[in-house]
Structure 1
């Protein structure tokens, strides 16, 4: 099964959790050959106390994660299910095969490769119940999509802190619910985008496009989607995604302009050469 990682935020018992989960197994039956759940919990306080910058802090944790993953998967066949990042701790979760290394060996490895306090335990979980707990619900699935979109924007050079019109697509089963939502959202400061195209679906034939002028940072987008998801649930509606125009820095815009001009010039040159080749072939054919 190919890995398919998703990231989202969850509130659990008043605690804010950042969850990374491998959703590639969500449609499969629990793997009978991997009946045991390994948890390694790292206390984050001593790590923060011994580093000067956030970059160093993140680098230490990424190094531990990389070493742990290599050790457990290479020759031991463990499955990395996911991790939970809370304010005070970082938890790694693996499913282990029946012939897994003993707990003493696991603790010895952690003690050798991690200088700070960490807890390590293994417990039976043949039905993969904890993995089901890690999987995102309907709203959290939207958060996963938000994180993927915003990561793509950052990768392309978008200045995500810069406000712009952010559009949201909503769908309704009944037209009266759509009209009621229009009135409510206008009072809440949303703009109803009458001119924006939205395709109806068979079960949700009444679309609505709205917008809000704000940034596209992950916390902002997640809060907006959470609000809309709650309002739609009260009116038998469905959230269908969001979009926004990219905002690039001046240097990024210039590089993008130069790249497009270069691509346009190359395309024009290929067309000229292709035409000349075609003309030459026709002339050669005419001589015969």
Structure 2
């Protein structure tokens, strides 16, 4: 994209905030390197954004987020060995563990794990859990595919 519109946009902002000196510049970046390397959220920040959106959706349904309920986490690994090592590392943490495998032989992350445990889904609780799991999954080259839970309605 060219710089058309850049100066009028800057002037519009300057008029709204006359006590500030605004300085702007443009740089050709056809591969969007600045965006992807500095502005785009990291994988963990994206996970936190997804967690916030998920909890906001549950709250909009009237969910009592602080009430414990079964929470299922979906995880995928590229090898059965990595999956096995990860499962061993969390075996004592109270999760019900279910293994699965995608039937597509060319899938990069064929070897799945579902972890289920009673937990709260308020943002602080679930985000801490999901980020911790994601970091531990990354140690084994896996991918965290998110969590799900049935809403708990009407209790306080």
Q: Choose which of 97, 114, 123 in structure 1 pairs with 2:23.
A: 123
Contact 2:14–2:22 (8 Å) recurs in 1: no
Report how many aligned residue pairs link the two structures: 148
- Give per-residue Cα distances to partners, 1:238-287, cap 9 Å, x unaligned: 1111101110015xxxxxxxxxxxxxxxxxxxxxxxxxxxxxxxxxxxxx
- Give per-residue Cα distances to partners, 1:11-46, cap 9 Å, x unaligned: xxxxxxxxxxxxxxxxxx6x6335xxxxxxxxxxxx
Please tell me whether residue 240 in structure 1 is matched to residue 145 in structure 2. Answer: yes
**What aligned pairs does 1:95-106 form with structure 2 within 5 A after superposition?**
97-99=6-8, 100-101=10-11, 105-106=15-16
Find the aligned partners of 1:123 and 1:101 in 2 and give their Cα distance.
10
Q: 1:121/1:220 Cα in 2 relative to 1: closer, same or farther (>3 Å)?
A: farther
Find the aligned partners of 2:115 and 2:144 in 1 and give their Cα distance.
11
Q: Write out the 4+ residue segments of structure 1 that deviate beyond 6 Å after TM superposition.
A: none
Question: TM-score normalized by structure 1?
Answer: 0.45
Question: TM-score normalized by structure 2?
Answer: 0.79
Q: Which residue of 2 aligns with 1:169?
A: 74
Q: Secondary structure at the match of 2:11?
A: coil
Q: Which residue of 2 aligns with 1:33?
A: 4
The alpha-carbon deviation at position 191 of structure 1 amounts to: 2.6
- Give per-residue Cα distances to partners, 1:88-146, cap 9 Å, x unaligned: xxxxxxxxx212327763334xx7xxxxxxxx442224248479634211121222211
The RMSD of aligned alpha carbons is 2.9
Q: Which has the larger radius of gyration?
A: 1
Q: Choose which of 191, 198, 207 in structure 1 pairs with 2:96.
A: 191
Find the aligned partners of 1:107 and 1:242 in 2 and give their Cα distance.
43
Contact 1:160–1:217 (8 Å) recurs in 2: yes
* Structure with the larger strand share: 1
Q: Choose which of 12, 17, 33 in structure 2 pairs with 1:107.
A: 17
